[in-house]
Amino acid sequence: MRHTAPEGRGPVRYGPPAPDTGLPVLPGLAALLAAAAGRTAPEPPGGGPVLREAAAGYWWRRGLRTHAEDVVAAPGAPTLLLALIAAHGGDLLLPRPCPAWWTPQARLLGRPAYHVPTPAECGGVPDPYALLETVRRVRAEGGDPRVLLLSVADDPTATVPPPETVREACEAAVAEGLHVISDETWRDTLHDPQDTLLLSPAEMCPEDVTVLSDLGGALAPAAWPCAVARFPPADPSRADRWTDRRARTLDVLTALGTVVPGPVAPAVAHALDEPEDVTVRARRAAAVHGRLAAAAHRTVLDAGALGRPPKAGRHLYADLGPLRAGLAARGVTDSLELESHLSARLAAPVPGGHRFGDELGALRVRFGTEMFLGGTEEERAETLGAARPEELPHVARALKEFGGALEELR
């Protein structure tokens, strides 16, 4: 069983692992890493020109005008978000629930962070009216809200908010003078890209949005730390170091000494260029995890629990509130106890909703779909190649065990 709940864990020291693909490294990427193994020099702070050009091309292909000077790279999204928060200053506003690694960055900097409810149909973005109310309340109490964090392909809820919801939330934020940081780590894991419209806030408010993406979401192994941020394009001749957020972000990364490892840079730059082997693997993995998430979602509903249909990522978010009586009979009365119970029962990480900013008393958890892939490399490879992976014997068995763990709580 993976180690998920070390003794003495605290709100910063412990964070649940991100949902993983459960797949081996692509041979082409492994070869590039091996070829660069002798490189002793790290990338410069913010990333070298090759890496930043590759990131710029990645966003160009998604309709966002980007040049290398608009990009910053760092060894992982948490480090990069820490630098972004430090560069912007002020208080943060976050949707409830939100990724487990967001709030610790604000906490480490001593910045207040305020959670805003999300609409009923999706997670990832705050309800615009609740956002306006929260901003005005915080200011009335002497606070200084300056940044809104949101996610258009969400962890933990696995939802993709409708474009009109994203637009309304961004317009409300910009009208109140907030800068938007859009975490788009999971945008390339849409389960059905033909049926799901994902629109980046940077397309709607190009001057007021910074886009953040961790390559571990879809393009590169999570063990190879690299994340990139796209800043609103600026005229270099008018850039002022004290107002240029990209320059201030680079200052923070330089002060922390956080750089992308030299041998990793060529491989992740190649992944950002999106050659066929990388894109085919990403699309196939997203489709397989999507079918597994849909099957797990049906199982959750059959057990009497609740959850929004998953649209992206390798996870789903479930509300076991309707099973409260059965859980209480087993001594489970909050999400911390629910996390411990289900993680032990399923022998897999099942972080509780309190990790994502939900109330402790709400019986919500995030289930990862990796636990359905199989226990061996052969089973996982078979799952990846199957048109209907949920019908494979080892997958069906895992889904049945999952359903049994939920049914016994009724």
Two structure tokens written together for 240: 């002022």
pLDDT given at position 14: 59
pLDDT given at position 109: 94
pLDDT given at position 23: 82
The model's confidence at residue 244, banded by pLDDT at 50, 70 and 90, is confident
pLDDT given at position 237: 55
The model's confidence at residue 243, banded by pLDDT at 50, 70 and 90, is low
The letter for the amino acid at 203 is: E
Q: How many CB atoms lie under 10 A from the CB of residue 35? A: 12
pLDDT mean over 97-112: 94
- Based on C-alpha coordinates, what's the Rg of the chain? 21
Judged on CB neighbours under 10 Å (0-12, 13-18, 19+), 324 is: middle
DSSP 332-364: --SHHHHHHHHHHHHTS---BGGGGT--TTS-E
Mean pLDDT, the chain, integer: 93
pLDDT mean over 307-320: 97
pLDDT given at position 7: 44
